[in-house]
Amino acid sequence: MSDNLVLTMRPTPTQAEFMLSKGYVRVLAGPIGSGKSVTCVHELIRWATEQAPNHEGIRKTRFLICRNTVDQLRSTTLKTIFDWLPPGQAGQWVETQKTYFVRFGLDDGTIVESEWMAIALDTPDDVRKALSLEATGLWGNEARELHPDVVEGLLMRVNRYPSPKDGGPTRPGAIFDTNMPQIGSWWFDKMVNPPNNWTIHEQPPAVLPIDEYVKKYGVGTFEVEVGRHRVKVAVSESGDVEAWAWTGDTGPVSLVCENSEGDRYVVDHEADNFGMLNASYYPNTLEGKSREFIDVYLRGKFGQSREGRPVFESFRRDFHVAAKPLVPIASDLAPIIIGMDFGLTPACTLSQVDPRGRLLTFAEVSSSNMGIYRFLTEKLIPLLAARFAGHKVIVVGDPAGRQRSQTDEKTVYDIIQAAGLKAMPAPTNDIVRRIGAVEEYLGRVIDGQPGHLIDPSCKELIAGFSGGYRYRMRRNGEIEDKPEKNSYSHLMDAHQYACLYAREGGGASSWNGVKERQKRAVKIAPMGAWI
């Protein structure tokens, strides 16, 4: 047993946020070389020390450590663990059990006893064993490679150790580290639309395209010390960049490099863990690689799906998603625009055009197996009362909603207006115009700010923009000309109607026209007044 254990790690802001998060499941995502695995090793140690001691003063924990294959487990995961916790100093590796028994004392006199069980998911015996174990927590190394069914099964094995007689687990849960997953994958859905008990922590990119680098650092020269590197940068008025790094007596190493298509990038010296790597690590990794490889492994962007292409390729999460919740402005001429899709899965987004001409989207509402009446009474109207009381609203929906029901001859718009909401069909249902309206707002830049800004709570909408809403690829490799009908379609269609209204009919004259039509609407037991 080690009498004490001293680890020296100064986490970056993102790493610290990940370690201190209270999420039951925590995901650390970012470029290769950004210190994700090292962060997780340190977090396991911290996790073990925070377990409450039992009556004997022993802090007991058990962690499942998973990697996709045996080779990956041995060459990367275990190697990282042993680099920081050499066997014989902090613990003992038992090969027959594939378990690292970590044991050390704390200054308060208590003892940490932690079992780290290595699981290779390409070994059926390992998987069967893992799914029968009782553990405190789970570390999934390079999570995007892990099969979702196995992950779901492993998550059911945590929060089971130590036993109640030893006080039970103080902090159960799971941590995952990963490069960015592929658009449309299970991990993609979890990251862009995480469950309530998940937290996602994305590290900054390791490299930037030349234009983004110039935008970030501006014109001029500077010299900085980053870890063990000395970095010199010169940016000219024409946008040319020279960036060099020295490590001790070695160098210089150019931080400007090209991919296989001739695109130029610069290693960002503010990237997580840059100061601990060899200065040539990122230039050598990037040189000659494809644009897609660089996006995923060095820039922290989602990988393109082999099943199709995103409809809105101009969407950028770091640009179009607000850093904090958006607040609507109070204005008679700026109603809350509710873009709505009907059917048995009604969905809507709630937006507003501000005085600067920006489209602000505040909220989303989705449903399943729910008619329009229930959707209004159980979901939309309570949301309006809670967040948009006092605001004028207008519902803009699918023109097909004007068709009358065979049972009572009421249209969807009759039902909406009977609920006290002003409503009108979108100008058109043409998919080209609908997508064009959204693209126009995505492409706007007003005083350096996005022309379309989305509240971070709109997780499903953001997921759709990020690639969930896509053109499907045919077997011959061609892309279809209409978006695929999938789980994101209803909300994305709804948002397109909102954008159409905002672009083509969202002014004061259109609003007054709606009020005149509302006077002639059939009244059926109104549920509220949103005037």
Ordered by start, the domain boundaries in the chain are 13-202, 207-297, 318-519
d(CA 288, CA 382): 54
Report pLDDT for 147.
84
More confidently predicted of 235 and 251? 235
Q: Do domains 13-202 and 318-519 have the same CATH topology?
A: no
Mind listing the pLDDT tens digit for each residue in 411-446? Answer: 889 999 999 999 999 988 899 999 999 999 998 988
- Matching CATH number, 318-519, of 3.40.190.10, 3.30.420.280, 3.40.50.300, 3.60.20.10: 3.30.420.280
CATH topology of domain 13-202: Rossmann fold (3.40.50)
Question: Using an 8 Å Cβ cutoff, are 156 and 130 in contact?
Answer: no
Whether the per-residue pLDDT at 181 is higher than 70: the answer is: yes
The mean per-residue pLDDT over the stretch 40-65 comes to 96
In this prediction, residue 149 has a pLDDT band, given cuts at 50, 70 and 90, of confident
Report pLDDT for 307.
60
Count CB neighbours of 67 within 10 A. Answer: 25
Q: How far is CA 485 from CA 3, 208, 446, 491, in A?
A: 61, 34, 33, 11
In this prediction, residue 508 has a pLDDT band, given cuts at 50, 70 and 90, of very low
Q: Scan for tokens 């201190």, then name that residue.
A: 20
In this prediction, residue 369 has a pLDDT band, given cuts at 50, 70 and 90, of confident
In this prediction, residue 117 has a pLDDT band, given cuts at 50, 70 and 90, of very high
Provide the β-strand partners of residue 454: 321, 361
C-alpha R_g of the chain: 27
Report pLDDT for 89.
84
Q: Scan for tokens 């658009």, then name that residue.
A: 183
In this prediction, residue 487 has a pLDDT band, given cuts at 50, 70 and 90, of confident
How does the average pLDDT of the chain come out, rounded? 87
Mind listing the pLDDT tens digit for each residue in 12-33? Answer: 999 999 999 999 999 999 999 9
Q: pTM score, two decimals? A: 0.68
The mean per-residue pLDDT over the stretch 48-52 comes to 95
What percentage of the chain carries pLDDT values higher than 70?
89
Mind listing the pLDDT tens digit for each residue in 336-349? Answer: 999 999 888 899 99
Report pLDDT for 404.
60
Mind listing the pLDDT tens digit for each residue in 68-91? Answer: 888 889 999 999 999 999 998 888
